[in-house]
Amino acid sequence: MNHLKDEKSPYLIQHRENPVDWYPWGEEAFGKALREQKPVFLSIGYSTCHWCHVMAHESFEDTEVAELLNRSFVPVKVDREERPDVDTVYMTVCQALTGGGGWPMTVLMTPDKKPFFAGTYFPKRSRYGMPGLMDLLEKTEEIWASDRNRLIQTGEDLVEIMNQRNETGGRQEPETLMEQGVEIFRERFDKRFGGFGHAPKFPAPHNLMFLLEYGSARGHRDCMAMTEKTLEYMARGGMFDQIGGGFSRYSTDDRWLVPHFEKMLYDNALLAQLYTQAYAITQKPFYREVVCRVLDYAERELLSPEGGFYCGQDADSRGEEGSYYLFKKGEIEEILGPDAEAFCRWFGITEDGNFEGRNIPNLLDNPKYERTRERNGEICGKVYEYRRQRMELHRDDKILTSWNAMMISACAKAGFLFGNARFIEMARRAEQFIEDHLYNGDHRLMVRYRDGECAFLGNLEDYAYLGLALIHLYETTFEAAYLLKATKLADEMVRLFWNMDEGGFYFYGSDDEELIYRPRQAYDAAVPSGNSVAAHVLLWLSRLTGEERWLRLLDQQMDFLAAEIGPDPSGYSYSLLVFHQIMNQGAKLVCVSAKEAAPDDFLEVARKNAGNNLAAVYKHPGNAELLSEAAPHTKEYPVPESGTQYYLCREHTCTQPFSDVTQLQHL
């Protein structure tokens, strides 16, 4: 057994029995590398990653590879979900060196953590023009012995380049950036199947969130059409689990039929938010149905007994990618008997199959796809139960702060818009789980919880996503405690991560381990960047609380983002969304009532305007003191002895208070 024996990460646990003498990231590993003057072999991945499994089986379980690694390197294994700070820093290096990135990630570095080589997956031996891991290690061993200074100098140069990349450029106008981003999306749009570019196709919900709001508010029908076509085809294809609900990671083909079968919490949380927003704007029942099936899946398969959500489920089952989700037609006939033929027609299941002789259930050729739950809900349940009994999926049972915060937002927004108390309760419980289990003794937010332990100081994404989740919980429940929590968390976010000189937030805190450089990322990758989410937090705190300090920070943050966005603004879509929300000012509504429960008329207006940039605040005698602590301006609104008063402000102008809800609806 290697040095991973005491680790909690499911990914590191998977490598405990490797002949490679893995160390976790830490002083023990780098101290050994320094004493023995060996380079460090860093391998970063996560437990539900298919190609991480492939590389493990081919190389890390191989005694020849292990002998070379143990002899001439100090091997370090990192779970990218536990240490997103380490992953972010070295992924940036990998992208700078290779033009791309992904997992498993392979980095070679000096004992002082300076990288001189980075890549992703390597087979054991070279094949099909792809370099092999053994060749890479043997060459590195040779150069380290004969010309070590060359590798050390490469590491020094790369660190210098990374720190230069951290400097912001010239500011561009937000309107121009938004227009450029939309034009790039137009050019890349797949008119036939939706999505952007060619396979593999990733859902990138934040891109569609921007196009949806921008197109709706400005009357750009093509933006709406691009978004809706993509939403439809993603939900009709095999990337959406037609039997059990939830989305897989991405589609390997253009038409969204064949997924990469792993399911991740963050994808499903962000997609649920996207389809909820689409429903708010279009009122199309199909979008609501998709959201409900995603959240039902998350509750059924990712929710822990204590209320937190697990990370995700593996693509592999019984050593084969996707076999859990695939069916032969004969299997369906055995399960469903006389109902099988209609079921197979509905979901495109044939004798020949649509994927390697088996079938991925889908609705791509079904014009009546919107009636699936109505026509096949009970029958799908039978197939689902058969599937679960047939084999099991590995589940990564870490609970991550940032990903749970995304799901809290999804459940809260959907629960409020749909009037679904179960979803709201899921959001409340997950937030309480974070409060109870993901702070350390100093009340410092942490990254992950597993097996009774929270670990690793929270980074910007943890604070920003949780701040936004607390805002969404406030907008759902109108409980002032959530808004006050959001303001206090944002204060901590500024204290720990804010760059006082140039604006923008650093990825890891001022109290955390110092790495080779301290990034301030604005680019949106698989999820919106911490800086773009932080901008949304500052915007909505400024609107809900009326506090000038949030507005001042927002102005500086928007200057930073505008300077960061490069020649392809489509890669910064969540920043473009906050630009749009700032320029499309929306309205602020304060409702003051003698009753503790928010009036139905007020809630109905808030629901109807969920897609219209409305900031809504509710005050009553029981929350007046707490609300005034979070939003001091609310002290000025007197609580009536009976009935309800409304105050509406728009474009720096406020109406007279009024109590007639029909007047409110008109305004």
Query: What are the tens digits of pLDDT across the range 322-343?
Result: 889 999 999 999 999 999 999 9
54 or 391, greater pLDDT:
54
Helix (H, G, I), strand (E, B) or coil at 218: helix
Region at 129 (left for phi over 0; alpha for psi -120 to 50; beta for the rest): left
What pLDDT was estimated at residue 660?
Answer: 76
- Whether 279 shows a pLDDT value over 70: the answer reads yes
**pLDDT level of residue 166 (50, 70, 90 thresholds):** low
What pLDDT was estimated at residue 665?
Answer: 65
Range of weakest confidence among 312-326, 418-432, 453-467: 312-326
- Whether 661 shows a pLDDT value over 80: the answer reads no
- Whether 590 shows a pLDDT value over 80: the answer reads yes
- Whether 73 shows a pLDDT value over 90: the answer reads yes
- CA dist 3 and 169 (Å) reads 44
Partners of 189 in beta bridges: 196
State mean pLDDT over 359-382.
91
What pLDDT was estimated at residue 167?
Answer: 64
- CA dist 427 and 81 (Å) reads 22
Partners of 601 in beta bridges: none
Helix (H, G, I), strand (E, B) or coil at 587: strand
- CA dist 436 and 340 (Å) reads 47
Number of CB atoms found within 10 A of residue 657's CB: 14
State mean pLDDT over 400-417.
98
- CA dist 164 and 158 (Å) reads 10
- Whether 316 shows a pLDDT value over 90: the answer reads no
pLDDT digits (tens, 9 = 90+) for 445-501: 999 999 999 999 999 999 999 999 999 999 999 999 999 999 999 999 999 999 999
Q: Compute the CA torsion angle 130, 134, 140, 144 (nearest 10 deg).
A: 180
- Whether 169 shows a pLDDT value over 90: the answer reads no
The string over 150-176, giving b where at least 16 C-beta atoms fall within 10 Å of a residue's C-beta and e elsewhere, is ebbebbeebbeebeeebebeeebebee
What pLDDT was estimated at residue 667?
Answer: 60
What pLDDT was estimated at residue 163?
Answer: 84
Per the CB < 8 A criterion, the answer to whether 512 and 83 are in contact is no
Burial of 462 (0-12, 13-18, 19+ CB in 10 A): buried
**Percent of the chain topping pLDDT 70:** 99
Range of weakest confidence among 93-107, 283-297, 567-581: 93-107
The string over 622-653, giving b where at least 16 C-beta atoms fall within 10 Å of a residue's C-beta and e elsewhere, is ebbeebbbbbeebeebeeeeeebbbbbbeeee
Q: Supply the mean pLDDT for the chain.
A: 94
**pTM reported for the whole predicted model:** 0.94
- CA dist 134 and 59 (Å) reads 9
Helix (H, G, I), strand (E, B) or coil at 244: coil
**pLDDT level of residue 659 (50, 70, 90 thresholds):** confident
- Whether 605 shows a pLDDT value over 80: the answer reads yes
What pLDDT was estimated at residue 165?
Answer: 67
Phi and psi of 536, rounded to 5°?
-65, -40
- Whether 168 shows a pLDDT value over 70: the answer reads no
What tokens appear for 197 in the block? Answer: 């570019």
Sheet strands side by side (includes 399-400): 399-400, 446-450, 453-457
Sequence letter at residue 278: A
